[in-house]
Amino acid sequence: MKEEALIVHLSGGLGNQLFQISTGISLGQITGRSLIINNNLYKNPLIRGRINSNYQKKRKFEANNFKSIASISLDKSLTPINGSFERLVSKLGSSQRKLLGIATEENFSEGGWKNVAEIRRLVGHFTSPKFFKDIDVKDIFSELNHELSDWSINTINRIQQGNLPCIHVRLGDYLHQDHIVVPTEKYYRDGVDIINNLLDPKHKALLFSDQPELISTYFPKLARDTEIVSPPSNLGPAEILYVMSKCSGFVCSNSTFSWWASRLSNVKPEFVVAPRVYQTYTQQLDSLNDFWPEQTKLID
């Protein structure tokens, strides 16, 4: 008799992928089903994918760089690639999704899943720890499936010897999306002051960013007050996240990448600074009020 499985569909960058996989692992344990990962969103059309530069720049499946995730089977079903399936699901009504055994965030209410026995696929962002409170994510994502680079080993040694905090600045596509707030330089500098007062580090805080070359342009004073980290170009997001997680305190951006760096660390929430506004000043739309632990220092 074939074992029943739970399939989780991945989307977004590494931070989003870890939220989705964690939700799948948790629900898999609740239902007794083995987890399968669907990464078809990251697959490109055979011909257009080679000639259209936009396909080459899009997000990649990165979560399998963690040892525990690399051993999870991939979905072999022929769901549409390049996000077509996920976009279709977003247009379905709740009764249609239920008929297909698909669950989104709407299937989770008051701390539990509705119609849990009928769920066969998870499709959504699941950007909240409420979806996986019963599992130890630090244990799950504690080890990469490859050896650390010399750069990472040396950087981790510097962090540990100097009690150094991590500042994370997410730029990239945030700079071109009017509905997403990029935290101000004042926010970051105030955060650095808070963390430095708590830690008394022996060196400037380390600033990590998806675009380190732009920090001096957008945040000139912050660039002066911190050490901008420029990892080797061949270093993937998972290894950079691993290095960040070894820091002694955090000033986070409004990013799932920041959230995971602090969550996978040994740092207490009191040593984490995060923006009070996650993505938008429109309060009813900025719904991630359960995103950060209660003791996190939320500032403007």
> How do residues 121-137 score in pLDDT, each as one tens digit?
999 999 999 999 999 99
Which H or E run contains 198? helix 185-199
* 243 three-state secondary structure: helix
Ordered by start, the domain boundaries in the chain are 5-139, 149-299
Query: Which residues does the chain have with pLDDT short of 70?
Result: 1-3, 45-57, 279-288
pLDDT of amino acid 278:
81
Residue 67: DSSP 8-state = H
pLDDT of amino acid 286:
42
Token pair belonging to 109? 């209410």
How far from 182 is each of 110, 216, 254, 265, CA to CA, in Å? 31, 15, 8, 24
Q: For the chain, what's the residue count?
A: 300
For residue 66, which of 201, 260, 299 has the smallest C-alpha distance? 260
pLDDT of amino acid 224:
98
CB 299 within 8 A of CB 184: no
Predicted TM-score (pTM) of the model is: 0.94
pLDDT of amino acid 109:
93
pLDDT of amino acid 99:
95
**What is the C-alpha to C-alpha distance for residues 169 and 172, in angstroms, rounded to an integer?**
10
Q: Where are the alpha helices (DSSP H) in the chain?
A: 14-31, 48-51, 53-57, 67-70, 84-90, 94-100, 137-140, 150-162, 185-199, 215-218, 220-225, 237-244, 256-263
| Tens digits of residue pLDDT in 133-182 | 999 999 999 999 999 999 999 999 999 999 999 999 999 888 887 777 89
CATH number for the region 149-299 comes to 3.40.50
- What's the order of all strands across the beta sheet hosting 227-228? 227-228, 206-209, 166-169, 250-251, 272-275, 297-299
pLDDT of amino acid 287:
54
* 3 three-state secondary structure: coil
